[in-house]
Amino acid sequence: MAYNKENLLKRIIEAQEIVLEQQRLRKGVPLTCIFRETIRPQFHISYSTFNRWMGVNAKAKLAKIEAEREKRNKMK
């Protein structure tokens, strides 16, 4: 099977969901605090990578990959 970014997208979605949950629970806390306290210890990424991940529409990209996989499987 060819390499794709499916696992990376799943990690990005997980990080985005954690940030949304933290923002819901702790209103007014800046993203830098959420990054330092929650994201960095769990994902071991830099702040610039974190910012890039927050700007990715990972759910749409993952859905596209899964649709392409399903289309390929139907062709077989």
Helices (H), 1-76: 6-25, 31-34, 40-43, 47-54, 58-75
Return the pLDDT at 57.
96
Q: What is the pTM of this model?
A: 0.86
The tens-digit pLDDT sequence of the chain (76 residues) is 446 789 999 999 999 999 999 999 999 999 999 999 999 999 999 999 999 999 999 999 999 999 998 998 888 7
- 61-44-2 Cα angle (round to 5): 40
